[in-house]
Structure 1
Amino acid sequence: MIQRSVRRCEGTAMGAIVIDLRPGAGIGPFNLGMPISEAFAQIEQRPNIYDVVHVKYLEEEPLKLDIVISFPDHGFHLRFDPWSQRLRLIEVFDVKRLQMRYAKSLIGGPSTLATFVAVYALFGPTFPGTYDKDRGVYSLFYPGLSFAFPIPLQYTDCCHDGEAELPLEFPDGTTPVTSRVSIYDKSSESKVGVGALMTKALAPPLPAGSLYMEEVHAKLGEELWFTVGGQHIPFGASPQDVWTELGRPCGIHQKQVDQMVIHSASDPRPRTTLCGDYFYNYFTRGVDILFDGQTHKIKKFVLHTNYPGHADFNSYMKCNFLEDHFKTPIPLVRSIASPQAQNGSKMSSGIRGELQSKPKDPRAIPLDRLLYMVTKMLLLR
């Protein structure tokens, strides 16, 4: 598991913020289902509030565990599905650090204990919750929202499923205090909480016509096909063709060429020059398109996977591309090194990207992991 600190500066003291709680929808500026790039944009807009940010991911197997954006000073984190990179679950793991506002009332934080009685009074009656004997935790569920309450050993008999009287109070007159709050998609029929229940949280469905995670079919030596809008962008297309199909690019820049030259020890800097070729950047689609500077025709596509830890991470949204060569798993070495595809199409330098690890048996790599491990894919004619 890799953890990277995004920012550290003087800012809001921990526990000093009040954040709106929206069951089944989100918390503060963070909405369930939002792409990870939008979450980072919200963080950048509030540097004095979110001044300490940790990003966690599993470097060896990036599709195995969530990508997590954590705010340790405020006691909550955001869990993003590793494949779609959309927010699927929000967890408040230290309720004493975060004061939440719901229906004009406050709960949590250093001054307002989130007790069982207080939660029940604020959110209203609900069905009896479930008791996890192994963890010693009683979970109370509302649509898109759950609360976890640690139960002392001497009071476990009060918490049998379906038998606990709500609101939960112990014989000595005390009531448990929330240790964790989970916010998840309210349309989900699954109960989401601590432990195994955490994995049941799914990102809400994308709205009809959404371009995010649109399947892009990459036909080697031929074209890109965007399946939602039906656009076909072939090699040899002009800038006008691309504008017509995809709209105005997010950015345009000239291609730089690093010249490999022998230089003296006193001048170790690599020399970089500009060539006539230029890129159209579609950051929101995860695509770059390279045009020949003389013919003004497409000569290359670059498809980005938004791989965590890569230098381009969060510069592009993830491109959900499918490539004909990988309809079935292909040995990693051959897919990169072979200059010829099975159907005879030339791949030139093949796929260019930095791989995080080299497995002992490349044939054992699942297709989705192979594509995700590649930080960017180049399509050359």
Structure 2
Amino acid sequence: MADARPSFAITPNRGLGWIYLGASLHAILTRLKSQPQLYPQIDLAYSASEPVLDPIVLNLQANGLRLRFDGPDQRLRLIEIVDFSKSSFSYKSLDLVRRTSSSSETATEPVPGPSFKHLYNRLFGPSYPGEYIAPNSGGSRGTYVLSWPGLAARFAIRHKSWSEKADFVSLLSSSAASSATSLALFSGSSWPEVRASLYTKRPQLPRSLALVGKLADSVPDEVEEVVIHGGGSLEMFRRTSLPFMINLNETTPQDIVAELGPPDAIFRKPGNGLSIHAGGASSKARRPSRSPGLDPHLGDHEQSSTKSYTDESENDASNVEEAQDDETTLEAFYNYFHHGFDILVSTPQGTNSASVNSSADFVVTKVFLHGNIPGSYPFNRHRRSRWRIALDDNGQPLDLTSEMRFKEISDILKDVWHSSYRDVEEENRMQRGMVLNRGWGVGDSPESSIELLGGFEEGPPPAHQDSKGAGGEASMPDMSNTELFGFPGVLFEVLKNDIISCLTVYQHEA
């Protein structure tokens, strides 16, 4: 019977097979979920209170792997082989562990890890002395960590055999030491050197798996950070290419495609029952609003979510037929899942859509930056987009980031826009949050998720656990309900733990 275990080639400082250090959580999860026969069990552990600051751990128990990502950027920092029997591992065509001919894909007996002699003599070569970690009180075995550039192995050693003066080669070769209990891959010259900066050092490889492969030259560079300068101006900073500007109501769809490449999906915006909230592009006159409940951009935000969280194609015949008579069907959302944002292209602000005959007259009117927060309803629809608000609409300097809690951002923005309100009552009314329910599967009202983002899933949300907990499944708060808070030019979608799930940027009418 053929061995159904995945096979991985070890490349120190780079990764394990197709799993590259520096890859985004979104890219790794998407690849894993596309091959359920090889990766049948995926467990995600994270902190419910600090999901964008604390590390995220992805456990692949059926494959013997554990992947650790940083919280702010959600990039892979450490790959651990914790069970050598669940997958096949090799280095320069040499097997990491020796298997007997009787081994099979259904074998349940654990396979011992590689011996020190095998690692030292045949695979990775000589190494400097490592570190010894004494056992807890009452324990009989300590841990010895031996590292090579980009790789480290752990061995269990009888504590009574350990001595500071002992030769580690002789010690690890003796019966006092067991085979390696785990193997870790990282980026750096040694484990002691990289340990302190494991989650903060800039990764060498990109987030996108496509940018590492053979087609990297034909794939557009990835966006590292979006800086919002106010007045409808956004600056896209890229990994290696020069940054470029998006000026709302000026930048064309052709400009976007030239810089970012074709979108991953396009959603033609249909008409819906949200006009009471949305006030569409054809509205003749309207007073600029600072409240999400009155914001003319709210309906557009909802429709972006609808497409982003489904697998429908822009060529879906039923959608096209239903939208034929709608005057707004030329408007479209460009979904860039691998960049972490959506872009709405439509008629320029203040233009009567009835006078627009083709999409050639369209411009970018809104940008939606997604946080990809673990535990939230839209998790893993986009990779995480990091942003920074540098200036407000009046050109005043700010320093607000995607890692800050909304309360901190809100306090600053309330102070910035305090003088623009007529009185305290108007200020409180404009800044009151609007509840957005993302958990309902059916409905026919503007507040129902069938209107807001569509019923794309059935059954309960996937299980997850808090990385700060005791190791069991945590009792997590319901993240399906979010609140929308608006300020001039920006709209925040906020989770119950005060983390920002999505930031919408539009041009504020002064």
Normalising by structure 2, what TM-score? 0.57
Deviation at 1:137, TM superposition (A): 0.6
Q: Distance in 1 between matches of 2:243 and 2:202?
A: 25
2:167 alignment partner in structure 1:
164
Q: Which runs of 5+ in 1 are unaligned?
A: 1-11, 262-271, 359-372
2:494 alignment partner in structure 1:
354
Q: Given residue 298 of structure 1, which amino acid in structure 2 is its aligned partner?
A: V
Deviation at 1:241, TM superposition (A): 4.2
1:321 alignment partner in structure 2:
387
What does residue range 113-132 of structure 1 map to in structure 2 within 5 Å?
A: 113-122=113-122, 123-132=124-133
Q: Which runs of 5+ in 2 are unaligned?
A: 100-109, 137-141, 212-216, 276-305, 307-321, 348-352, 357-361, 393-397, 422-485
What does residue range 86-97 of structure 1 map to in structure 2 within 5 Å?
A: 86-97=75-86
Deviation at 1:286, TM superposition (A): 2.0
> CA separation of 1:206/1:44 partners in 2, compared to 1, >3 Å: closer, same or farther?
same
What does residue range 82-161 of structure 1 map to in structure 2 within 5 Å?
A: 82-108=71-97, 110-111=110-111, 113-122=113-122, 123-134=124-135, 136-157=142-163, 160=164
Match for 1:304 among 362, 370, 373?
370
1:230 alignment partner in structure 2:
243
Give a deviation string over 1:104-143, Cα, whole Å, max 9, x none: 3223474454222222222222222211124611111111
Match for 1:216 among 201, 211, 226?
226
Give a deviation string over 1:313-346, Cα, whole Å, max 9, x none: 2222222221135516784483599597369698
Deviation at 1:103, TM superposition (A): 2.8
Q: Distance in 1 between matches of 2:232 and 2:254?
A: 18
Superposed CA RMSD: 3.7
Say how many residue pairs are matched.
337
Q: Distance in 2 between matches of 1:260 and 1:236?
A: 23
Match for 1:282 among 331, 336, 339?
336
Q: Distance in 2 between matches of 1:349 and 1:226?
A: 17
Range with bigger deviation, 173-182 or 24-33: 173-182
1:205 alignment partner in structure 2:
204
Range with bigger deviation, 51-60 or 128-137: 128-137
| Identical amino acids, percent of aligned pairs | 25
Range with bigger deviation, 226-235 or 272-281: 272-281
> CA separation of 1:168/1:24 partners in 2, compared to 1, >3 Å: closer, same or farther?
farther
Q: Distance in 1 between matches of 2:492 and 2:168?
A: 61
**Bigger strand fraction:** 1
2:441 alignment partner in structure 1:
none
Matched residue of 1:88: which SS? strand
Match for 2:253 among 195, 220, 239?
239
Q: Distance in 1 between matches of 2:417 and 2:189?
A: 43
Q: Given residue 224 of structure 1, which amino acid in structure 2 is its aligned partner?
A: L
Instruction: Check conservation: 1:336, 1:350, Cα contact below 8 A.
Output: no
2:185 alignment partner in structure 1:
183
Q: Does 1:374 align with 2:500?
A: yes
Matched residue of 2:63: which SS? coil
Deviation at 1:89, TM superposition (A): 0.6
Q: Given residue 119 of structure 1, which amino acid in structure 2 is its aligned partner?
A: L
Give a deviation string over 1:2-52, Cα, whole Å, max 9, x none: xxxxxxxxxx87xx4442222221112201111222212331343211111
What does residue range 62-81 of structure 1 map to in structure 2 within 5 Å?
A: 62-81=51-70
Q: Distance in 1 between matches of 2:381 and 2:419?
A: 34
Deviation at 1:154, TM superposition (A): 2.7
1:341 alignment partner in structure 2:
417
Matched residue of 1:179: which SS? strand
Instruction: Check conservation: 2:230, 2:489, Cα contact below 8 A.
Output: no
> CA separation of 1:320/1:54 partners in 2, compared to 1, >3 Å: closer, same or farther?
same
Q: Given residue 341 of structure 1, which amino acid in structure 2 is its aligned partner?
A: W
Q: Distance in 2 between matches of 1:19 and 1:227?
A: 33
2:264 alignment partner in structure 1:
250
What does residue range 38-57 of structure 1 map to in structure 2 within 5 Å?
A: 38-57=27-46
> CA separation of 1:377/1:17 partners in 2, compared to 1, >3 Å: closer, same or farther?
closer
1:361 alignment partner in structure 2:
none
